Structure 1
Amino acid sequence: MKLSTTLLTLSVLAAGSALAEPVAPSDVQFDDYGAVAESLTGQPGDPAKGAEVLSKRSLGNCVACHQVSALPDVPFQGNIGPMLDGVGDRWNEAELRGIVSDAKKTYPGTMMPSYYRVDDYVRPGNAFTGKAAEGPLDPLLTAQQIEDVVAFLVTLKDQ
């Protein structure tokens, strides 16, 4: 009886964690150097989906600025950001999660977009377009997409 109660408790806990809500962008905990130790979803990322997010124009479009030799079929890779080859050796998973979520926490002057940020933007105001957004914005990527990109980036090791 005790064993079946324990197994039931463990299965309920496992099911509850699978249904856990992702960490909201405003609740992400960055350390002093911009790393994010905890997963944003509690679920592992999918490297194949991460490669898709990285290379698709309608998603992260990271290749607009970065080159990735592991994605030779992706045309028009950029050269204004650092090459991502070997990035899995240079940074650990927490550091990569922080950089992808909000690179400005690690590199304050970077031009890299903050993919999981919703507030504290400097906005030009209505003077330019008359259509400046008010309040928090939606993040550019979902928490799971961040985890997928990080899962792909950690696979990019130096030969």
Structure 2
Amino acid sequence: MKLSFALAAVAACYAGVAFAEDVAPADVQYTDEGAIAASLSGAAGDAANGKKVMSTKSKGNCVACHAISAMADVPFHGEVGPTLDGVATRWDEAHLRGIVANAKKTYEGTIMPAFYKNDGYIRPGDAYTGKAPTEALTPLLTAQEVEDVVAYLMTLKD
């Protein structure tokens, strides 16, 4: 009887992990330094998809502001933000996750957009119409896309 109960408890734990939901943007727990310790999606990131998100204009488009030598094939690298070469040497995974999700938690005056936030905006707009949105805002990236970007950033070491 005890063995059956123990096996059922273990199975329930695994089921909870398999069906874990994304952490909602409003429920993200940041440290005082802006880091996020745990995965937002409950799953590991995919570095190949993270690279794609970082270079896709309708997604992260990180190269618009940051130079990344490993992505030299992507045109029009920006110089607004710091180079991302060696970023995984400078920051750990939790800090990179926090910076991607909402860089303002680490750098108060940054112009980097919060990629995993859906409220607290000063002047949200409805695309390029100049009007306020009529529906609830959604994050620029999904929880899994944040994890994918972080996985790619973790490959950028000196």
Q: Same fold (TM over 0.5)?
A: yes
Give 1:16 shift.
2.1
Partner of 2:83: 83
Question: AA paired with 1:145?
Answer: E
Tell me the CA shift for residue 12 of structure 1: 3.5
Q: CA deviation at 1:10?
A: 2.7
In the aligned structure 2, how far is the partner of 1:9 from the partner of 1:124? Answer: 46
| Contact 2:60-2:140 at 8 Å conserved across structures | yes
User: Which amino acid letter does the alignment assign opposite residue 29 of structure 2?
Assistant: Q
C-alpha spacing 1:13/1:82, structure 2 compared with 1 (3 Å): same
The residue number in structure 1 matching 2:146 is 146
Deviation at 1:125, TM superposition (A): 8.0
Q: Aligned equivalents of 2:114 and 2:136: distance in 1?
A: 13
Partner of 1:57: 57
Q: TM-score, normalised by structure 1?
A: 0.89
For residue 57 of structure 2, what is the amino acid of its counterpart? R
Question: CA 1:98–1:124 in structure 2 vs 1: closer, same or farther (change >3 Å)?
Answer: closer
Instruction: Give me the whole-angstrom Cα distance separating, in 2, the residues matched to 1:62 and 1:125.
Output: 21
Q: Which moved more, 1:108-117 or 1:132-141?
A: 132-141
Cα distance between partner residues in 1 of 2:119 and 2:134: 10
- Superposition deviation, residue 4 in structure 1: 6.8
The separation in 2 between residues aligned to 1:7 and 1:105, in whole angstroms, is: 42
Residues 46/125 of structure 1: CA separation in 2 closer, same or farther (3 Å cut) = closer
Specify the alignment match of 2:157 in structure 1. 157
Residue in structure 1 matched with residue 36 of structure 2 by the alignment: 36
CA positional deviation for 1:2: 6.3
1:45 aligned partner: 45
Across the two proteins, how many residue pairs are aligned to each other?
157
**Distance in structure 1 (CA, Å) of the matches to 2:136 and 2:40:** 19
SS in 1 for 2:108: coil
Instruction: Tell me, in whole angstroms, the C-alpha distance in 2 between the residues paired with 1:109 and 1:45.
Output: 28
Question: 1:130 and 1:113, CA in 2 relative to 1: closer, same or farther beyond 3 A?
Answer: closer
- Whole-Å Cα distance in 2 between the matches of residues 2 and 48 of structure 1? 45
1:109 aligns with 2:109: yes
Counting only pairs closer than 5 Å after superposition, residues 16-35 of structure 1 correspond to structure 2 as: 16-35=16-35
Counterpart code for 1:83: T
Q: Specify every segment of 5 or more residues in structure 2 that has no aligned partner in the other structure, as ranges.
A: none
Structure 1 position 70, deviation (Å): 1.1
Of stretches 40-49 and 70-79 in structure 1, the one that deviates more from structure 2 is 70-79
Comparing 8-17 with 78-87, which one deviates more in the overlay?
A: 8-17
Deviation at 1:51, TM superposition (A): 0.5
Alpha-carbon RMSD across the aligned residues, in angstroms, is 2.2
